[in-house]
Amino acid sequence: MTIEVADRRRRRGGVLLVLILAVIAAWLVYLWLDGIGGGADVDADAPTSTTVATQPSTTTTTVAPMTTTTTVAATTTTTAPPETELDAAIAEIRSMEIERFGTRFGEPDRFAALFATPGEPALGLSRIDNGNVLLLARLAAQGDLDRLGASCRDSFVGECGSAFEANAETDASWLDGVLASFGELGDVRVLGIGVVGGEYTLLGQVASEGAKERIGSAVAGAIAPDLTLVNDLEVVDEGVITDATERGLEDLDLAGITFESGSADITAEGQAILDEAVSVLTNAIGVTVEVGGHTDSAGGAASNQRLSQARAEAVVAYLADGGVDETILTAVGYGEQQPIADNATPEGREQNRRIEFTVSAK
């Protein structure tokens, strides 16, 4: 009996212990689940907080400066200077061009005076390397400048560069007449037209008195009849002009201008020499050049005459194709009439088959 009671007490105690442990376990499970829920809330918010924190560093500090601040600032300060600075830069360039023209003329101050009167039209023309022409102008409108450039390209061998200024206050009604006279300016090395002391003044260098009178008359006829033109063109010594061209040609190996046997076809060696002659003759101003063809005495005189003429014409055509003003070139065939060596020897005949250049002042 005593044993049964003790057993019952032990069983009740065990059940009670199990119940207590179950309650504790349930409480712990609750706390654990609640901790997970709270942790999940914190974790879910954490990425949002992290994203918000990191995104500004990507978009604001990295992307924005590169695409907005840096680029726009560079464009504004570097490529778009204030208008006053741009005007000053352009004025400086024009001043340098005027000085360049004046230096070629030999009297920079006199040439600069042509462009010194605000609102008055002015025009400068200069023959530069390889027959090219540089224009400097202050005219009334862009259309005037365009016509000036087009007329230059039509009237001269080589390219036409320009430094132009359009000024709406400028009266350049005489421009059409000047453009019409461009064909008379072939003898000009440097030329300037402008208003000095209330009078239109013509400055420049030409090759002869005839050229001075011809160009002066052409320009005077272009401006208004009630305006006076002061013709201060300078005649450069004709000997100086011809000597410079002659020296340039003499430096060439003219004996190297050869042809295929019995024809007017220029050899490759001959073309190479003529290419050098092009460089000399495109700079020639105020001269004419006779291209003389000569043969040896082999064959008949009549056929040699025809062959020499054909060869001289072939040389003229080659020079003109290279950029030399064809109007200063003349082809003359002399046949066998002017030998410089004995036709009885092969060496002499080779010397007699030749091309000669004769330079004269216009």
* pLDDT, tens digit (0-9, with 9 covering 90-100), for 132-189: 666 666 665 566 667 666 766 665 545 555 556 665 556 666 666 676 666 666 666 6
Q: Look at residue 263 and give its three-state secondary structure.
A: coil
What's the one-letter identity of residue 237?
D
Pick the more confident residue, 299 or 132: 299
Architecture of the 87-236 domain: 3-Layer(aba) Sandwich (3.40)
The arithmetic mean of pLDDT across residues 4-27, rounded, is 56
309 has a pLDDT exceeding 70: yes
**295: nearest Cα among 216, 225, 231, 348:** 348
- The predicted pLDDT at position 180 comes to 66
- The predicted pLDDT at position 97 comes to 66
CATH number of 240-361: 3.30.1330.60
The arithmetic mean of pLDDT across residues 40-57, rounded, is 38
Which tokens is 335 given? Answer: 């046949």
Which tokens is 30 given? Answer: 């609750």
The arithmetic mean of pLDDT across residues 337-350, rounded, is 94
192 has a pLDDT exceeding 90: no
User: Strand 122-127's sheet: what is its strand order?
Assistant: 160-166, 133-139, 122-127, 190-196, 199-206, 229-235
Backbone angles phi, psi at 357, to 5 degrees: -110, 130
Q: Look at residue 80 and give its three-state secondary structure.
A: coil
Give the residue carrying structure tokens 């440097």. 190
**110: nearest Cα among 201, 49, 173, 46:** 201
- The predicted pLDDT at position 28 comes to 62
**Exposure letters 52-72 (e unless 16+ CB within 10 A, then b):** eeeeeeeeeeeeeeeeeeeee
- The predicted pLDDT at position 264 comes to 96
User: Strand 287-294's sheet: what is its strand order?
Assistant: 329-335, 287-294, 354-361
Cα–Cα distance between 92 and 98 in angstroms, integer? 10
Domain ranges in the chain are: 87-236, 240-361
Which tokens is 177 given? Answer: 């007449």
The arithmetic mean of pLDDT across residues 254-276, rounded, is 94
- The predicted pLDDT at position 71 comes to 33
The arithmetic mean of pLDDT across residues 117-132, rounded, is 67
| Cα angle, residue 35 at apex, residues 34 and 37 outer, rounded to 5° | 65
**What interhelical angle do 238-250 and 268-281 show, nearest 10?**
160
**Exposure letters 243-266 (e unless 16+ CB within 10 A, then b):** eebbebbeebebeebbbeeeebeb
Pick the more confident residue, 331 or 60: 331
Cα–Cα distance between 314 and 326 in angstroms, integer? 12
